[in-house]
Structure 1
Amino acid sequence: MSVINTVIKPFQASAFKDGKFIEVSEKDVLGKWAVFFFYPADFTFVCPTELGDVADHYDQFQKLGVEIYSVSTDTHFVHKAWHDSSETIGKIKYTMIGDPSGVITNNFEVMRPGVGLADRGTFIVDPDGVIQAVEITAEGIGRNAEDLLRKVKAAQYVRNHPGEVCPAKWNEGDATLAPSLDLVGKI
């Protein structure tokens, strides 16, 4: 079952952000753009490269009004320990959610059955809490924050310009399409 165009489900979780433990729920997400960035586990190999890449682009996401929530089935305590011990993870300013119960990971349908770890899943959520984009990759395939930024910009553009869509490889400032009968078979 696809979670595209569904509203995120309720959750309550402990997280690590800005040197503090905080509580986060779906209510904190509503009213702004959000990216949920699921990864298998702290203290691993591909995961820190991805989280560091997102950290390097966090200011750009913030300028777009987007909050980042990284999520793994580790606890918020493990997130803090990883943050304190890794130069790459130490630069993270966004919220690192602990999901040891697997509620959030299951809500987004990225829990590996029988393993207790999340797949590499990325979800773009609009201010209404509706999932607009999903990317799921296999264990060894890392994601790219620049492409994620491009997808967020496309999702925001489509939301702000009803009747227009963004074609393949669209980047901010590129031409869009206005679907119509006249375009059928001409693209």
Structure 2
Amino acid sequence: MGIIGSQIKPFNATAFQAGKDFFLVTDEDVRGKWAVFFFYPADFTFVCPTELEDLGEHYDMLQKLDVEVYGVSTDTHFSHKAWHDTSDKIGKLKFAFLGDQNHTLATNFDVLRDGAGLADRATFVVDPDGVIQLVEQTCEGVGRNANELVRKIRAAQYVRANPGQVCPAAWEEGEATLAPSLDLVGKI
């Protein structure tokens, strides 16, 4: 079975978030709202801060959509704090960073690179029931786009709230959706 439609596995991780003491996040904390797990290879790297900054620019919008964001790498929560304290880009971010030095999350989400101890560049969107609804994974040198992530989350939320309807390619909030039926076969 693929990871889409599967339940997130149990985990606990120590988090760093600006303005807070270190705190524990578990799979139970994720239930009841939408969540983004934004895996990246390592702190103090090159493409990662550009992606995280882009995601940070969308954080308030995601919060309004009832989405919590977790940046995840196999670094420790101490490393996340040090990066936050020394990088202009990372220092602006408001979302939580989970330390995954034991590789629990990277293993649970199947993004741990064999023999490297690093996570692949991957994004998972989890619904309020703890079910993985969206996955995006790219190679090391290709950064992600938070605009597209927000669009996909809106589509997933729409489909969840409107059973029997689906969002076509490039769907944007407010546009027409489809209600799959035999009448549509061969007509789209």
- TM-score by shorter chain over 0.5: yes
Tell me the TM-score normalized by structure 1: 0.99
What's the RMSD between the two structures over aligned residues?
0.7
TM-score by length of 2: 0.98
Which residue identity is paired with 1:182?
A: D
Residues 71-90 of structure 1: pairs in structure 2 closer than 5 A: 71-90=72-91
Over the matched positions of the two proteins, sequence identity in percent amounts to 67
Q: Aligned with 1:114: secondary structure?
A: coil
What aligned pairs does 1:136-175 form with structure 2 within 5 A after superposition?
136-175=137-176
The SS at the match of 2:156 is: helix
Return the alpha-carbon distance in structure 1 between the equivalents of residues 93 and 7 of structure 2: 27
> What pairs up with 1:34-45 in 2 under 5 angstroms?
34-45=35-46
Give ranges in structure 2 of 5+ residues lacking alignment: none
The alpha carbon displacement at 1:18 in A equals 2.5
Return the alpha-carbon distance in structure 2 between the equivalents of residues 16 and 27 of structure 1.
18
Quote the residue 2:123 is aligned against.
Answer: 122
Provide, for residues 104-124 of structure 1, a one-character-per-residue CA deviation record: whole Å limited to 9, x for no partner.
Answer: 010000010111100011001
Specify the alignment match of 2:11 in structure 1: 11
For 1:112 and 1:13, how far apart are their aligned partners in 2?
19
> Match of 2:185?
184
State the 1:2 CA deviation.
1.8
Shift of 1:72: 0.1
Number of residue pairs the alignment of both structures matches: 187
Unaligned residue ranges in structure 1 (runs of 5+): none
